[in-house]
Structure 1
Amino acid sequence: MKIISWNCNMAFRKKAEFILKEQPDILIVPECEHPDKLIFKNDIAKPTDLFWFGKNQNKGLGIFSYSDFKIKLLSIHNPEFKYVLPLSVSNNEIELTIFAIWAQKPQNHDCYTEQIWNAVHFYSDLLNNENVILAGDFNSSSIWDKPKRIYNHTNLVNFLKNKNIYSAYHSFHSQTQGKEIASTLFMHRKIDRPYHIDFCFASKNLIDKIKSVKIGEYENWTKYSDHKPVTVSFEI
């Protein structure tokens, strides 16, 4: 199974052909327009299933299946955590609990991590499931930690670790949070403003089945978005 997360920087209908060359089974797309606006060229593969959430029809969170996986929003979804979506993603062989994420900035400060921090505590019991994945644009990094702020990135990573959930990129490539070699965002598409803020976290049983973890190259993706795709392939 190959899962890809890519903040497309809007207008996904014009960019789908490029990410679909990576042959995802499940594709998570922050800043994606409403499905009614997704008019693809005839030669572009159509998703077998999809779910979209958002208030702005030009800029929401889309989850697409390009395989036999079916996508369903779980009834436990709390609208307070708008863009932390708990989903059942399943086929005849396996059922996954996938949290599709596009972190939003709170009204009273600039720490995007707060929304995810509150969400993972609300969904704490769900995180005890065996096949859990959290993937998307977290807008978060340990380089922005404030020690007195409980909902900083490092505390989020540690909370997930206590649930036996780990970052695929950091586990597979033996990287340290905040000291990543590969960057997933180049602010304003400038090569001298790199950050690693897009993640795929997974349960330990899935981490043990990873075949590869790849981050898109700056040269290949900057013309389409300020974010680079995060691709994780599992042997399941």
Structure 2
Amino acid sequence: MKIITWNCNMAFRKKASVILAYKPDILIVPECECPDRLNFGHESQTPTDILWFGTNQHKGLAIFSYSDYRFKVLDNHNQQLRMIIPVYVTNGLFDFNLFAIWANNPADPDGQYVEQVWKAIHHYDDLILSRQTILIGDFNSNTIWDRQHRKSNHSSLVQRLEEKGIYSSYHLHYKQVQGQEQHSTFYLYRHKDKPYHLDYCFMSADIAERLTSVEVGDYDYWMKYSDHVPLIITLN
């Protein structure tokens, strides 16, 4: 299975073929326009299942299947955490809970970025398990900003997930330390000298055992499409 997250920086309809060349089974796309505005013509594969969430038709969170995986939003979806979506993913052989994430809620006075994910892992505590769990997307957070976010900071988030047996696939694969990442997934204003690692795929230990590769997109190629590069996870 190949699962990809890519913040497309809007206008996904014009860029879909670029990311679909990597043949994802599941694709998480923050800043994607609503499905009514998408046009899957002959140049782009039509998804087999779609979920989309947002209040701005030009800029929401999309979850696509390009395989036999199907999605069902879990009943206890917290509407206040509107860009963190709990989804049951099934294909009859390998089923799991997936939390699609775009940590971006300016309306929350407690904080719009890492605070959103912090709230979510507590609200969905009984669903985020040491088995059959993936959290993936644009977390808009990194350990380097811990001091700005009190207790609900990135390091606390990572620690809480690791206590539950859930780990960052990138950091496992590349043996990296949080906040000292070798690869960046976001470039502020698309400037190469302003790199940050903001996109993650956390997975439970049973899924991590199947991890075969983690790829981070190349700056020179992807900056003509977005200020983010894709994070590509392959499982056997």
Question: So what's the TM-score if we normalise by structure 2?
Answer: 0.97
Number of residue pairs the alignment of both structures matches: 235
CA–CA separation in structure 2 for the residues paired with 1:54 and 1:88: 19
Which residue number corresponds to residue 209 of structure 1? 210
Q: For 1:136-215, list aligned pairs within 5 A.
A: 136-146=137-147, 149-215=150-216
String of CA shifts for 1:86-142, please: whole Å, max 9, x gaps.
001110101110000000144446661111101110000101262100000000000
String of CA shifts for 1:47-99, please: whole Å, max 9, x gaps.
01111111111111000000000011111101010001000111010111000
Paired AA for residue 219 in structure 2: Y
Which residue number corresponds to residue 103 of structure 1? 103
Conserved? CA contact 2:130–2:166, under 8 Å: no
CA–CA separation in structure 2 for the residues paired with 1:42 and 1:100: 27
The more displaced of 120-129 and 23-32 is 120-129
Which residue number corresponds to residue 218 of structure 1? 219
Paired AA for residue 2 in structure 1: K
Which residue number corresponds to residue 61 of structure 1? 61
Conserved? CA contact 1:165–1:204, under 8 Å: yes
Conserved? CA contact 1:27–1:65, under 8 Å: yes
CA–CA separation in structure 1 for the residues paired with 2:225 and 2:52: 21
The more displaced of 58-67 and 144-153 is 144-153
Conserved? CA contact 2:187–2:227, under 8 Å: yes
Conserved? CA contact 1:187–1:226, under 8 Å: yes
Which residue number corresponds to residue 231 of structure 1? 232
Which residue number corresponds to residue 34 of structure 1? 34
Conserved? CA contact 1:14–1:40, under 8 Å: no
Q: 3-state DSSP class of the match of 2:63?
A: strand
The more displaced of 41-50 and 18-27 is 41-50
Paired AA for residue 42 in structure 2: N
5+ residue gaps, structure 2: none
The sequence identity of aligned pairs, in percent, is: 50
Paired AA for residue 10 in structure 1: M
Conserved? CA contact 2:114–2:152, under 8 Å: yes
Task: Return closer, same or farther for 1:106/1:30 CA change in 2, 3 Å cut-off.
Answer: same
Which residue number corresponds to residue 11 of structure 1? 11
RMSD: 1.3
Shift of 1:160: 0.3
User: Which 4+ runs in 1 deviate beyond 2 A?
Assistant: 105-111
Q: 3-state DSSP class of the match of 1:50?
A: strand
Which residue number corresponds to residue 20 of structure 1? 20
Conserved? CA contact 1:165–1:202, under 8 Å: yes
The more displaced of 77-86 and 145-154 is 145-154
Paired AA for residue 34 in structure 1: C
Which residue number corresponds to residue 48 of structure 1? 48
Q: 3-state DSSP class of the match of 1:76?
A: coil
5+ residue gaps, structure 1: none
CA–CA separation in structure 1 for the residues paired with 2:211 and 2:131: 15
Question: So what's the TM-score if we normalise by structure 1?
Answer: 0.97
Q: 3-state DSSP class of the match of 2:128?
A: helix
Conserved? CA contact 1:106–1:114, under 8 Å: no
Q: 3-state DSSP class of the match of 2:87?
A: strand
Conserved? CA contact 1:106–1:115, under 8 Å: no
Paired AA for residue 206 in structure 1: I
